[in-house]
């Protein structure tokens, strides 16, 4: 049975949480309720204390509050549920604010987060609210969507707290043991950008932030794999956040250039059962970087660019026959055609091809965004269209197919 934190924020539907607590207690779970000041206006702490057998918490300071209570609660929890989650609470969670006990515990917790929003339809439809929700989903939160119907204000539309049965079922699913279809596998991953120096202070790189690679690593760890993660580092690069209980199975090596990445990856290749090559490797390098800072001049200068090492090609050439390979291809046009070409040229088992924005444009897929979409291709001819989703969602679907 699990330790479950339930944080309720200001919504008239907060009274329904008593039924959620009751059902969880019947299932044998330990439940600790946290209430915001607004939630206390809608549901009695005494009711929740009676049902949970634990004192309701909500204060950051006071004679009965230790200075580390928020850490103790965060570490105690196997799952944190925010229900109902008001628009205000979604914003605070998305922005990492910590100005009351529920939000402080949420920021300190490494437990999975389950959110059940509830608010007026107009508030729910506001782009800023949806952006906050999307940010939380991109960071791994699960959502129990609100229902549509007659709201407390008399209006009709989306925004009602999900039915108690749906919330309880979502909690049960979140607590269920995850798939362990990668247990016993050691996977080598490359991720992030590489750089090539121009002089002692300048370099060339690309727009990759490593988000997709981090999502692939986190999902592999969740499924039981050991991950050797060779990461190209630069400003803004995202590192994997190991799921609870998996930190000892993640081994990160920081590199900068394509040559550094190839050397580190080749060193670890013999230990791997498979390779996930998601890094955005610079195809060209400056032939002769200056050891000193180049001074500004009125005249134009030219950089002699030469092909850099083909990291994925080097790994595939050095691999054993029993090692499998998944590559990634970020393209601006003819995405699938270029993907098929790379799949064949590199001798890969799978390749995920996705579109990136062209110069001066933006998009929902590719570099420096939280969402992605594309097509997963296999050497045996299968084709899997993956619709727009968070990068964590895309990673789950890729592993579902190839694991």
pLDDT tens sequence across 116-154: 999 999 999 999 999 999 899 888 898 999 988 877 777
> What predicted TM-score, i.e. pTM, was given to this entire model?
0.68
Exposed e or buried b per residue across 199-219, where buried means at least 16 C-beta atoms within 10 angstroms of its C-beta:
eeeebebbebbbbbbbbbbbb
Task: Summarize the confidence of residues 29-43 as an average pLDDT.
Answer: 95
How confident is the model over 382-400, as pLDDT tens digits? 999 999 888 888 999 999 9
Query: Given pLDDT bands bounded at 50, 70 and 90, which one contains residue 361?
Result: low
Alpha helix segments (H runs only) across 227-306: 258-268
Helix (H) / strand (E) element for 106: namely helix 101-108
pLDDT of residue 61: 75
pLDDT of residue 360: 63
pLDDT at 65 exceeding the cut of 80: no
CA distance 174 to 172: 5
**157 φ/ψ sector (left φ>0, alpha ψ -120 to 50, else beta):** left
How confident is the model over 328-347, as pLDDT tens digits? 999 988 999 999 999 999 99
Q: What contacts 47, CB < 8 A, 6 or more positions away? A: 18
- 153 catalytic residue (yes or no): yes
Grouping H, G, I as helix, E, B as strand and the rest as coil, residue 7 is strand
Cα–Cα–Cα angle for 175, 226, 386, nearest 5°? 65
Q: Assign 3-state DSSP to the chain and report helix, strand, coil percentages, each to 5.
A: 35, 25, 40
pLDDT of residue 243: 83
pLDDT of residue 198: 95
**What DSSP letter does each residue of 39-52 carry, written as one string?**
GGGTS-HHHHHHHH
Which of 128, 153, 200, 303 is flagged as catalytic? 153
Domains of the chain listed by start with CATH number: 3-175 (3.40.50.1950), 186-402 (3.40.50.10300)
pLDDT of residue 371: 86
């Amino acid at each position: 049975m699990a330790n479950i934190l339930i944080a309720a924020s200001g919504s008239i539907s907060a009274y329904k949480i008593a039924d959620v607590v009751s059902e969880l207690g019947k299932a044998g779970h330990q439940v600790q309720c946290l209430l915001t000041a607004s939630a206390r206006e809608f549901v009695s702490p005494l009711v929740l204390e009676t049902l949970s057998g634990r004192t309701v918490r909500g204060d950051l300071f006071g004679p009965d509050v230790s200075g580390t209570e928020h850490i103790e609660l965060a570490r105690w929890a196997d799952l944190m549920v925010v229900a109902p989650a008001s628009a205000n609470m979604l914003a605070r969670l998305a922005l990492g604010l910590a100005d009351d006990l529920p939000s402080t515990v949420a920021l300190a917790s490494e437990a999975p987060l389950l959110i059940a929003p509830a608010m007026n339809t107009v508030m729910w439809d506001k782009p800023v609210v949806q952006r906050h929700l999307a940010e939380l989903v991109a960071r791994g939160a699960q959502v129990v969507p609100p229902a549509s119907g007659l709201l407390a204000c008399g209006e009709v539309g989306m925004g009602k707290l999900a039915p108690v049965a749906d919330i309880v079922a979502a909690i049960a699913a979140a607590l269920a043991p995850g798939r362990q279809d990668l247990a016993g596998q050691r996977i080598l991953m490359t991720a992030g950008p590489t750089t090539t120096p121009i002089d002692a202070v300048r370099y060339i790189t690309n727009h990759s932030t490593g988000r997709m690679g981090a999502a692939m690593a986190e999902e592999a760890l969740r499924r039981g794999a050991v991950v050797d993660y060779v990461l190209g580092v630069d400003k803004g690069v995202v590192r994997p956040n190991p799921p609870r209980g998996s930190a000892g199975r993640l081994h990160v090596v920081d590199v900068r250039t394509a040559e550094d990445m190839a050397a580190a990856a080749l060193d670890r290749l013999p230990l791997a059962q498979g390779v996930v090559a998601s890094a955005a490797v610079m195809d060209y390098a400056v032939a002769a970087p200056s050891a000193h800072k180049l001074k500004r001049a009125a005249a134009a200068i030219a950089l002699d660019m030469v092909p850099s090492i083909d990291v994925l090609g080097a790994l595939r050439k050095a691999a054993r026959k029993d090692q499998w390979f998944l590559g990634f291809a970020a393209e601006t046009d003819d995405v699938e055609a270029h993907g098929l070409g790379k799949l064949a040229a590199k001798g890969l088992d799978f390749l995920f091809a996705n579109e990136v924005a062209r110069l001066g444009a933006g998009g929902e897929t590719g570099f420096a965004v939280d969402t992605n979409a594309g097509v997963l291709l296999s050497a045996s001819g299968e084709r899997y269209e993956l619709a727009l989703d968070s990068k964590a969602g895309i990673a789950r679907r890729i592993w579902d197919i190839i694991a």
